[in-house]
Amino acid sequence: MKRLVAIAVLILAASGITAQEPFNAAGRGAQGPNGVVATAKPEASQVGIDILKKGGNAVDAAIAAAFAMGVLEPDTNGIGGGGFMILRLATMKEAVVIDFREVAPTASKPDMFKLDERGRILNHAGTDGGLSVGVPGDVAGLLHALDAFGSKRLTRAQILQPAIHMATQGISVTANLDKNIKDSLEKINAFPACAELFLQEGLPYEIGEKIKNPDLARTLAIIASKGAEGFYKGEIAVKIAAEVKKQGGILTVQDLASYAIKVRKPVRGTYRGYTILSVPPASSGGTHLIELLNVMETYDLKALGRNSPATAHRWSEAMKLVFADRAKYMADTDFATVPLSGLVSKAYARELAARISPKESMTAPLPGNPAQYESGSTTHLSVMDKEGNMVSITKSIGLLFGSGVLVPGTGILLNDHMSDFVPKPGSVNSIEPGKRPLSSISPSLLLDPKGKSFMTIGSPGATRIFTTVAQVISNILDFGMPLQEAIAAPRLAQPHTGNLSLETRLPAATQKALGTLGHKLTLRGDWDPYFGGVQAVLYDAKTQQLIGGADPRRDGQAIAF
């Protein structure tokens, strides 16, 4: 019966019929005076809280939770992938960005993928198999943050032990994981090691059953003992390179041994007097988050009204213009010149806003050459502690189940982030050896008008990431919404070209008016994961409480103490 109900809900969502609010959506939030951890899994949030209770700081908690998430949500992230984080300790004058994005192997070439007549990669080679695998950065990035910014009160083994325990004991299959496995059966079945882990006698596990990954537990134990070298050199590296080669890829042990994180300065902007700190390229997310908010700041959104036709229209038009800039300019700044200061300037935002007509939607083609794919299967976590230390981490293995390549004997599922490049020469985001593919990941921090810690926020959701984060920030700063309500509120998403997507909870009058203005609409089910999965923590100066919120579009839960 439960399976029939679940199928019915999915059918309703696909049809555009408004679904009921997810059970306990409002209860996804939490508050407390000492610390809050918000992740896409309640078990990972509890891991972070336990670390805080043992005397760890927000960085310790975030890294423990991040390793745990790689076990709990194996379809979206893990040590075979990469990501970005931004952190700010209360004692630091400046926030720090750690770029642990994957890089293209040394043997990569701009034309390494075979394309069809439409310029699309043939035979899923960009998203499945060895050729889609970039050099993973997850382990290097997480351990660098722990070593450089952790409290030093806990050992690396203590930080990784919860993830090791979970991989050994097994993780419960939730409705989300169940759906993702079923949606990815073709990819999973194409790779025997992947099928052996995620299927049971060739069939998906039932909801509530456990998937155990003892090989991953052993790999994590090696990392706990040897650090990053235990992953990037030696037995594990040899196994990774061998399996990638077997599956048609080009990643080598030398590529793994030479991987290096990038420590960068954040991009910086303001919105309604609050400072926004986010990640620079190779993620486009932080830059365009600020650009989008700059455009929206030119309007009195409170006067226009939340979810009104006027407000929704302006969001949509601004997103079109920002995505055009993203496609035209954005790439890894080690390989391309990107006009970052211009893109985040208030003056440029006013120029963009002047192009937006209040009476009709833009229909003329916008310039740009967007990538063929963008990874939609990602996870985010946010942590803040009583000292005001803030951490925001977004990490991914690419599309659901990454490349499908699971390295035998290690439990490591590898990414498919080579698909985030433009698969032909001539683009700023074309493939080059050692280059980081473009991303929309947008882990961000906000400071209040006095420069004090206010909020840590981020989301999965491919190119919808920074548009989702921007809408939640606006809900809080323009409309004064409580954090959990701001996260659960209905969203919209307008890509570079194509239809405007709406959750069906947006008022019918708004939907009708948008059609009159010339928007072509795609209606999606309420709380659709297409619109991301925000996890955030903010400090409420009035109550002196840390408040966490988690997205009902995923399995998220904020936990506090």
Query: Closest Cα partner for 459 from 434, 482, 435, 486?
Result: 486
CA gap 44, 56 in Å, rounded: 15
Burial 372-397 (b: 16+ CB within 10 A, else e): bbbbbbbbbbbbbbbebbbbbbbbbb
CA gap 99, 380 in Å, rounded: 15
**Secondary structure letter of residue 27 according to DSSP:** G
The token pair that represents 513 in the structure block: 């008016």
Q: Is residue 516 among the annotated active site residues?
A: no
**Going by C-beta distance under 8 Å and a sequence separation of 6 or more, which residues neighbour residue 179?**
6, 10
Instruction: Collect contacts of 511-520 with beta carbons under 8 A, ≥24 apart.
Output: 513/309, 513/313, 514/309, 514/312, 514/313, 514/316, 517/309, 517/313, 517/359, 517/360, 517/361, 518/360, 518/361, 518/363, 519/313, 519/316, 519/361
Check: CB of residue 453 under 8 Å from CB of residue 463.
no
CA gap 73, 43 in Å, rounded: 11
Q: Catalytic pick from 76, 252, 311, 378?
A: 378
- Secondary structure E strands in 160-246: 171-172, 199-200, 203-204, 210-211
For tokens 């989300």, the residue is 176
CA gap 498, 66 in Å, rounded: 35
Q: How far is CA 525 from CA 4, 14, 18, 64, in A?
A: 18, 6, 6, 33
**What residues are labeled active site?**
378
